[in-house]
Amino acid sequence: MIRFWYKQFPQYPPDHSDYWRIRLIEHSLLITTSYFLILTLINLFYFEGYQYALLDGFGLLTSLGIYSRFRKTGHVKITSWAVTIMVASLIMLFVISTKGHSHSLFWATLIPPFSFFLIGRKWGTFISCLTFSVCALLVYLQTQNPQPVTFGTGSLFNVIEVCIAQILLLRYYEKTRFSAYKKLALRNIEIQKMAETDKLTGLYNREKLDVVLDKLLTIPAANTDTVHPPRSAEGKTPLSPVAHSSVIDNVTYSNTIPPLLKPSSSLQYPISVAIIDIDHFKRINDNHGHLVGDHVLYELAQLLQSQMRNDDLLVRWGGEEFVVVLPNTTSTDAIELTERLRRYIATQNIQGMALTISVGVAQYTIKDSAYSLLGRADKALYLAKAQGRNRVAVA
């Protein structure tokens, strides 16, 4: 029903830092406008107190004026100040007019959360201290003319209303904190993904490989309760890169890494790596240009990815080199698997060309670090190249 009151500001989307501030401004001005409107009408027609009606009418116009200006300009900072001053003055006027009776001072407790939310820490502290001191002084002066203070119905209403207002304000704080946290968490995932993804091929990059190998090769024996049986090279489950990325957790690989390997049982739960290198890739660049070379790299990456099994991790190592981490795979299975991959690539038409790849395979041993394991696979690749390319070699 009151939807017309709220305006969408496209420049302040829900993840903008001022989004909840704007919501509080809109709600506050709706409440003060309604409040002044009702008081003006009551004073005008019921009590016939024209002086009060005039004051309330002034409040009504101020509240409406601030809001219409805000709708026009969308200026959050100025409006925040205007609303804070208006609300603080309103509370002060209320405390003065009630002379502190009926526990009206309780309303002053709303000023700190309100002003901190709208105008920040520094000015929020200043306005809170100032208005609270003024209110406290006024109430203190009243106590010089002692009158019995009772907790009557008026007090009860004041306490209830202030409590409701505090709850609503705290909801804003929590919503703001939550949306800021959510935004940060999403950004973190995006940044992490960017940091570990190769831009050209969409595969994981070398950074990711280092993290994964580090984790795989240092999983302590105590953490490996469940054990996956070693698989053969036959267990291929083709996966698209998109499907693959959902298998591998966005933030840490550890959530999805099965406890495949521990250094002390490297023979029982083997792991192999393969380095794949395109043969004579330089010629493609030289003959067809770097852009075509880039397309070739992209298409080859998709083809390789389509042949990976669920737990295999394919990354672009750099240039025209790719690395596959093959958990639960012996070097014999790794040779079989990469040999099949090599034959498959040789039959494909990539950018109108027939390509071949050479592969170097190495199986993890207890003495290996990630560095030495990749070093041995690289040596095997060198061997495959030296033996005439388009072949798989093992170290």
Ligand X SMILES: Nc1nc2c(ncn2[C@@H]2O[C@H](COP(=O)(O)OP(=O)(O)OP(=O)(O)O)[C@@H](O)[C@H]2O)c(=O)[nH]1
Interface positions with ligand X (CB under 6 A): 200, 277-282, 285, 290, 293-294, 297, 319-320, 385, 389
Residues in CB range of 320: below 8 A, 6 or more apart = 277, 278, 281, 297
Residue nearest to ligand X (CB): 293
Residue 350 Cβ vs ligand X, minimum distance, rounded to whole Å: 13
Structure letter (DSSP) for residue 1: -
Residue 14 Cβ vs ligand X, minimum distance, rounded to whole Å: 38
Distance (Å, rounded) from C-alpha 266 to C-alpha 141? 83
Cβ proximity to ligand X, 152 vs 318, nearer residue: 318
Q: Contact, 76 vs 82, CB < 8 A?
A: no
Distance (Å, rounded) from C-alpha 321 to C-alpha 382? 12
Element counts in the chain: helices (H) and strands (E): 11, 7
Comparing C-alpha atoms, which of 222, 274, 268, 273 is closest to residue 366?
268
Strands (E), the chain: 271-278, 313-318, 321-327, 349-350, 353-354, 357-363, 392-394
Could you write out the DSSP letters of every residue in 219-286?
A: --GGG--S-PPP--TT------HHHHHHHS-SS-GGGT--S---GGGTTTS-EEEEEEEETTHHHHHH
Residue 375 Cβ vs ligand X, minimum distance, rounded to whole Å: 17
Residue 201 Cβ vs ligand X, minimum distance, rounded to whole Å: 9
Distance (Å, rounded) from C-alpha 230 to C-alpha 267? 10
Distance (Å, rounded) from C-alpha 177 to C-alpha 170? 10
Residue 348 Cβ vs ligand X, minimum distance, rounded to whole Å: 17
Residue 329 Cβ vs ligand X, minimum distance, rounded to whole Å: 25
The DSSP bridge pattern shows strands 392-394 and 357-363 to be parallel
Cβ proximity to ligand X, 12 vs 298, nearer residue: 298
Cβ proximity to ligand X, 257 vs 374, nearer residue: 374
Tokens of 166: 């505090």
Could you write out the DSSP letters of every residue in 29-98?
A: HHHHHHHHHHHHHIIIIIS--HHHHHHHHHHHHHHHHHHHHHHHH--HHHHHHHHHHHHHHHHHHHHHHT
Distance (Å, rounded) from C-alpha 262 to C-alpha 244? 24
Cβ proximity to ligand X, 113 vs 360, nearer residue: 360
Residue 281 Cβ vs ligand X, minimum distance, rounded to whole Å: 3
User: Cα–chain-centroid distance for residue 123?
Assistant: 30
Cβ proximity to ligand X, 174 vs 286, nearer residue: 286
Residue 336 Cβ vs ligand X, minimum distance, rounded to whole Å: 23
Residue 259 Cβ vs ligand X, minimum distance, rounded to whole Å: 35
Q: Give the number of C-alpha atoms closer than 13 A to the C-alpha of residue 149, restricted to the C-beta side.
A: 16
Amino acid, res. 25: I
Cβ proximity to ligand X, 125 vs 285, nearer residue: 285
Residue 191 Cβ vs ligand X, minimum distance, rounded to whole Å: 22
